Amino acid sequence: MNTHLLSEGYIVENLNTEDLFKILEEVAAVKEGNLCTVQIEEWRGGLNLYGVWEMSYEEVDNYQNSGGVWSYHRPEHFIQIVEDELKRRGLFAVNIKKA
């Protein structure tokens, strides 16, 4: 199994709508002031949500200084990627946390 950071293009375009809304739900629940990462897995010939992980800025610094490889961003980064893809599909999300 390979995992990837959620990004625009191939990855987000190949997620099903259910996963996109699940990402919005989980990312919107990230505590204010924290960062998160959204990982997508390649599994059985498709792409699926692997998980959303949350850390404080200090935890991210410690993680990266100890060799951590995943990129963490403000939740709004991922919300915007997903919202753009939903709009491209003619769908809209409402009541999502914004900075």
Q: Is the Cα torsion angle 92, 99, 25, 27 positive or negative in sign?
A: positive
Least confident residue range of 5-19, 31-45, 55-69: 5-19
Position 96 pLDDT exceeds 80: no
Mean pLDDT across the chain: 90
Assess whether pLDDT exceeds 50 at residue 39.
Answer: yes
**Domain assignments of the chain as residue spans, ordered by start:** 2-88
Question: How far is 22 from 37, CA to CA, in rounded Å?
Answer: 14
- Please give the torsion angle defined by the CA atoms of residues 92, 53, 34 and 16, in that order, rounded to the nearest 10 degrees: -10
Please determine, for residue 99, whether its predicted confidence score (pLDDT) is greater than 50: no
Is the per-residue pLDDT at 12 higher than 70? Answer: yes
Higher pLDDT among residues 98 and 62, named by residue:
62
To the nearest 10 degrees (0 to 180), the angle between helices 75-88 and 17-28 is: 150
